[in-house]
Amino acid sequence: MTMNILRWSVLSLAGVVLCGITGCARWIDVKPPSADPKATISHSIPNDERVPLVTNSFHLSRNGSSQYPSAGLERQILSSIQETSLFSTLIPLGEKSDSLGDKVVSARITFDETIEPHSWLAAFKGIIIGGSMFLLSPFINLEYGYAATVALELERWDGQVTRYEARSSGSVHYKLFGATPVMIDELKGYVTEACLTDLTGQLVRDTKLYMASSAPLPDTGIRTVTVKAKRPAGTQPTRSLVPVATATTP
């Protein structure tokens, strides 16, 4: 009897150690950006050739549903652009600054994220784990998927518009007791950083487009336009009535 108790105690202890070692394990896989990686090109820009960038709009969506814009995410995107040293200053959404000059680049930012928690698969595996009394929990993987697409639309002072887009995705794989909010935040951070790295690389390759000498200011001369009122449909021109005298016979 004593030997059986000791044997089961040893097995229980081994199971707890196994769950502690493998049950809490997790790892993250991040796919490369959708665009093919290219060699990084660097340019030296004189200070007088750098122009300011002003954020005109910032849209955030999650699984196709519009979300309230995140100030932290906007700062992260603008910080990545600022690291390129392409623009003299960056103005966030809603902020105004005087003396920006005549040549300004306007930015419209869109961030679309897709979350795939695989809840049905997690529930199915949870039933299996519950039915097996946690014996199989160290050997069953759970998964949380996340994808992001960042689009940057820049409009130059002369009206030329250029669009940049980068996409990346990743998954975090974890065991039964490995799911934590920190794990999900790490996955989002890796995917977002991969998108911004690709996006700024595209932007740097177009450095010459945003130099002050790349295009002149648009013509601001006064132009006259002839405005004509549209004639309503079905309106017929009026005709003048001429009185006609009729002769009567006596």
Tens-digit pLDDT profile for residues 124-161: 445 554 545 455 455 556 778 899 999 999 999 999 99
Q: Which segments of the chain are extended strands (E)?
A: 26-30, 53-62, 65-67, 90-91, 105-116, 142-155, 161-174
- Where along the chain do its domains lie? 38-118+145-214
Q: What is the pLDDT of residues 28-69, one digit of tens each?
A: 667 766 555 555 555 678 888 999 999 999 999 999 899 988
Span 38-118+145-214 CATH architecture? 2-Layer Sandwich (3.30)
Which residues lie closer than 8 Å to 142 by C-beta, 6 or more apart?
A: 118, 121, 122, 125, 173, 174, 175, 176, 178, 179
> Can you give the pLDDT at residue 17?
46
The model's pTM:
0.67
Among residues 126, 235, 117, which one has the least CA distance to residue 184?
117
> How many C-beta neighbours within 10 Å does residue 197 have?
16
